[in-house]
């Protein structure tokens, strides 16, 4: 069967390896770019992280919903989250390894803190482009991991309204990011 953008998700869910190869060929450059952005100092971790991204795509494709997001954006989000996780793990490992020398440990801890602060600042800078109510929704849903049902109760909104606001916000952020 010929794999295309139209049937790749369906074929991934059927565990068709050709679909995974299509994803790697089509989105490999995007994944590599995102992973390199976070792990430019750690070549071994970069390759491992890239492999893990595609493993997550293969293993968790059943969680992907075409109504909520495009495959490209979902894969980009998986890559970002994995790369950030890898960087945190690497910096924590470096901090543990250098525990024999207090100064080195302090340096690695400082680097870890700087990373966390930088990431928080980048996220906040992006979110500041959204209206306050959407900004709060994004924080709750994406950063704090609140479930839709909890947000429905908390905000008094239907899940459809929540998904629509998240979708509009993502489009707005995507537009800003491209510029």
CATH topology of domain 1-127: Rna Polymerase Sigma Factor; Chain: A (1.10.1740)
Is the CB of residue 64 less than 8 Å from the CB of residue 71?
yes
pLDDT digits (tens, 9 = 90+) for 13-65: 999 999 999 999 999 999 999 999 888 888 889 999 999 999 999 999 998 88
Domains 1-127 and 131-179 share a fold: no
Q: How far apart are CA 118 and CA 116, in angstroms?
A: 5
The pLDDT > 90 percentage for the chain reads: 39
Which CATH number is associated with domain 131-179?
1.10.10
Q: For the whole model, what pTM was predicted?
A: 0.59
pLDDT digits (tens, 9 = 90+) for 125-171: 878 888 899 988 988 887 778 888 988 999 999 999 999 999 998 88
Per-domain residue ranges for the chain? Answer: 1-127, 131-179
């Amino acid at each position: 069967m010929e794999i295309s953008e139209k049937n790749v998700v369906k074929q991934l869910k059927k565990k068709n390896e050709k679909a995974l190869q299509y994803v790697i060929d089509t989105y490999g450059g995007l994944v590599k770019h995102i992973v390199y952005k976070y792990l430019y100092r750690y070549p071994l971790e970069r390759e491992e992280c890239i492999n893990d991204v595609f493993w997550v795509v293969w293993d968790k494709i059943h969680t992907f919903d075409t109504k909520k997001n495009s495959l490209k954006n979902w894969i980009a989000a998986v890559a970002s989250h994995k790369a950030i996780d890898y960087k945190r793990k690497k910096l924590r490992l470096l901090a543990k390894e250098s525990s024999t020398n207090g100064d080195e440990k302090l340096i690695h801890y400082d680097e870890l803190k700087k990373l966390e602060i930088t990431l928080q600042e980048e996220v906040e800078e992006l979110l500041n482009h959204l209206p306050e109510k959407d900004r709060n929704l994004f924080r709750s849903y994406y950063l704090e991991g609140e479930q839709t049902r909890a947000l429905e109760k908390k905000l008094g909104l239907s899940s459809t309204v929540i998904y629509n606001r998240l979708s509009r916000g993502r489009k707005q952020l995507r537009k800003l990011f491209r510029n």
